[in-house]
Structure 1
Amino acid sequence: MGLAILILLALIFLFVLTVLAKTIRIVPQARAGIVERFGKYRTTLNPGLNVVVPFIDKVRYVIDMREQVVSFPPQPVITEDNLVVSIDTVIYFQVTDPVAATYEIANYIQAIEQLTMTTLRNIVGGMDLEETLTSRDEINTRLRGVLDEATGKWGVRVNRVELKGIDPPPSIKDSMEKQMRADRDKRALILTAEGQRQSAILTAEGQKQSAILTAEGDRESQILRAQADRESQILRAQGEGQAIQTVFQAIHDGRPDQSLLAYQYLQMMPRIAEGDANKVWIVPSEIGKALEGLGSTMNNLQGIPTETDGPAKRVDMGPTEPSVPAEPGRSAAGDAVQEAIREAQRAANPRRPAGGAAEGAGEDPPA
């Protein structure tokens, strides 16, 4: 009897525990519970402690109200230029109405995936490959607009759509790499050509400036050299002019006559006789007549008077007949020439005494 009572009490305790478990339901934060009574929607449980009628009400679904991320596998899509590309997408969505998400569609995630693929094929089908690769933002915006409009009645809001990857076929990738490489080579060649052109221009400008400076330097050098030559010639001409003027003035101050010119002519004859090669020198006997003819010829020269009037400025020449020492290089022919010169002078001026002939004509300088 006592054992039966214990078993009954145990069964009652288990029933109470089961009723309590069916009555009290705890819903986590950011979730919503869908309660059905006899298979029909009754209410939505909020996060926290909730009480339901046991064995009558049933929590059918617990919906996650947080934003969720779903990545769909790559799908083949044909572009406008008939190229097949593989595109995988990422969808960011959030359940806003748990009742609609439960009863309006059986599996909203699968529905979003299929809608994303069909919409993506429709958008990319109107673009070529290059436009598809460079228009991600446009594709994302258009895809999000279509999905948000379609999933609104499902109680789902699509917050963002991203194209995670667009992979063209391997042959197209190889062609794109070649095109990119050719484009980069083209730009490199253009930059190299521009650099060479700038270098050539700068080099030509430098050579031009160098040539200009060199020409200017040569011109200035030639100008300075010409000025120096001109001044040198002017100074040389002035010096020669002053020397000629001094000699001419000295000659006019001395007032020379024909005897002096004949003497200067005869003075060169001993120098002709000098030298080691002149071993023998014969003085002709007609030298007096020759000198007379020379004197008569010079009488007709203009500017040289035959006789001068008035006193002439004379230079003290020392003794009338100085003794000339014998020089090592003088020969016997030279002495004979000197003696012939004296006889010719005495014959040319017979009116003057023999001792005064040397004074009028000057004396023979020592050889």
Structure 2
Amino acid sequence: MNEDQIAELLSGNIVYLLAALFIIVVILKGVRIVPQSEKHVVERFGRLRAVMGPGINFIVPFLDVVKHKISILERQLPTASQDAITRDNVLVEVETSVFYRITEPEKTVYRIRDIDAAIATTVAGIVRAEIGKMDLDEVQSNRSQLISTIKASVADAVDDWGIEVTRAEILDVNLDQATRDAMLQQLNAERARRAQVTEAEGRKRSVELQADAELYAAEQTAKARRIQAEAEAYATEVVAKAIAENGLEAAQYQVALKQVEALTALGNGSGKQTIVVPAQALEAFGDAFKLLKGRG
């Protein structure tokens, strides 16, 4: 084999090698593997050609170019603070945090330059607008409702940018020192008022219970007197009935019984005592004892 043949063979092999190398480069440039957490924006001659999702994708080599690689993972904006004035003219400083993710990269790439700054500005404006509709007490007590309103408003505002707002948080609502001092005084005054109301209600309840007790005692006394009166009336009725049936003898018997009971009570008195009884009384007692003996 002469030198010309060798040179011709080498040149043919180089052509084959170059062709093989070109085919390999074309294949490598035409096949794109996109990670699960990304989407790739493809351009052709400077215009949007396609958006490639996760997995194996094919493009036209040398014509199509992967211009943007966009992460679709959830992102968190840096914590932002903005001043706002409530409906009752109280200046507050609100700390917010927003989480979002890109769902349509072609909108994010071609419609907005700095997406984080745009979202932060939008959130600040919405927070000021919503807090301006509420009193300070409502901001403090209805924070969950305020968060939901802010999230919905931000989601509507950034929809044209291909973004989904996944979460919005109000981390803190700060007040200036003068407002805090005024609120503390108001809180102390409210506590004092509640204590006075509680004390007054206690005194009122005590008076009501005392009145109930007195009323109950009066009712019981009246009941006892009524029972006693009924007993005395019954006794009088029995005596009257006995007199009607037995005549004067029954009346004398009752008088004699009372005289004996009185004499017995005097005799049972404490200490030594002398009882002087007139002669007429002795005769009466004698008659009473006769009656009692006759009854016995």
TM-score by length of 1: 0.50
1:345 alignment counterpart: none
Is residue 103–residue 163 contact of structure 2 (8 Å, CA) maintained in 1? yes
The residue number in structure 1 matching 2:127 is 120
SS of the residue 1:88 aligns to: strand
Match of 2:189 in 1: 182
Return closer, same or farther for 1:16/1:180 CA change in 2, 3 Å cut-off: farther
- Cα separation, 2, equivalents of 1:224 and 1:139: 78
Please show how residues 53-72 of structure 1 align to structure 2 within 5 Å: 53=60, 57-70=64-77, 72=79
Per the TM alignment, residue 80 of structure 1 is displaced from its structure 2 partner at its CA by 4.0
Contact 1:63 1:98 in 2 (8 A): yes
Asked if 1 retains the 8 angstrom alpha-carbon contact of 2:34 and 2:40, the reply is: yes
2:102–2:163: 8 Å Cα contact kept in structure 1? yes
User: Structure 1 CA distance, aligned partners of 2:178 and 2:186?
Assistant: 12
* Range with bigger deviation, 93-102 or 76-85: 76-85
Q: Distance in 2 between matches of 1:151 and 1:227?
A: 99
Measure, in 2, the Cα distance between the counterparts of 1:46 and 1:127.
44
**Equivalent in the alignment of 2:57:** 50
Query: Could you say what secondary structure the match of 1:106 adopts?
Result: coil
Matches within 5 A, 1:1-367: 22-29=29-36, 31-37=38-44, 39-53=46-60, 57-70=64-77, 72-136=79-143, 139-140=146-147, 142-158=149-165, 160-221=167-228, 224=231, 231=239, 238=249
Cα RMSD over matched residues? 4.1
Task: Determine which structure has greater relative contact order: mean sequence separation of CA pairs < 8 Å that are 6+ residues apart, divided by chain length.
Answer: 2
Letter of the 2:183 counterpart: M
- Deviations along 1:135-169, one digit per CA (max 9) or x if unpaired, are 54664455445433432222224355443332222
Does the 8 Å contact 1:74/1:87 carry over to 2? yes
Q: Which runs of 5+ in 1 are unaligned?
A: 243-367
Question: C-alpha distance in 2, partners of 1:201/1:161?
Answer: 55
State which structure, 1 or 2, has the greater radius of gyration over its C-alpha atoms: 1
Alignment deviations for residues 94-118 of structure 1 (CA, whole Å, 9 cap, x no partner):
4232111111111212201111112
Equivalents in 1 of 2:169, 2:178: separation in Å? 26
- Listed one character per residue, the Cα deviations across residues 67-105 of structure 1 (whole Å, up to 9, x for unaligned) are 544453222223344432111223343423211111111
**Aligned partners of 2:194, 2:146: CA distance in 1, in Å?**
31
Alpha-carbon offset, residue 226 of structure 1: 7.9
Does the aligned pair in 1 maintain the 2:76–2:100 contact within 8 Å? yes
Mapped contact 1:112–1:151 kept (Cα < 8 A): yes
Partner of 1:349: none
Using a 3 Å threshold, how does the CA distance of structure 1 residues 14 and 195 change in structure 2: closer, same or farther? farther
Q: Answer whether contact 1:34 1:99 (CA < 8 A) is retained.
A: yes
Q: Which residue of 2 aligns with 1:296?
A: none
Structure 1 vs Structure 2: percent identity of aligned residues? 31
The answer to whether the 8 Å contact 1:72/1:113 transfers is: no
Q: Partners in 2 of 1:238 and 1:71 — Cα distance?
A: 118
* Structure 1 CA distance for aligned equivalents of residues 156 and 219 of structure 2: 79
Structure ranking higher in helix proportion: 2
Return the letter of the residue paired with 2:109. T
Task: Tell me the residue number matched to 1:246.
Answer: none
Change (3 A) 1:222 1:150: closer
Tell me what 1:247 maps to: none
Partner of 2:264: none
In structure 2, runs of 5+ residues without a counterpart are 1-9, 254-296
Amino acid at match of 1:210: A
**CA distance in structure 1 between the partners assigned to 2:132 and 2:184 by the alignment:** 24
DSSP 3-state at the match of 2:194: helix
Structure number having the greater strand percentage: 2
CA distance in 2, matches of 1:241, 1:119: 109
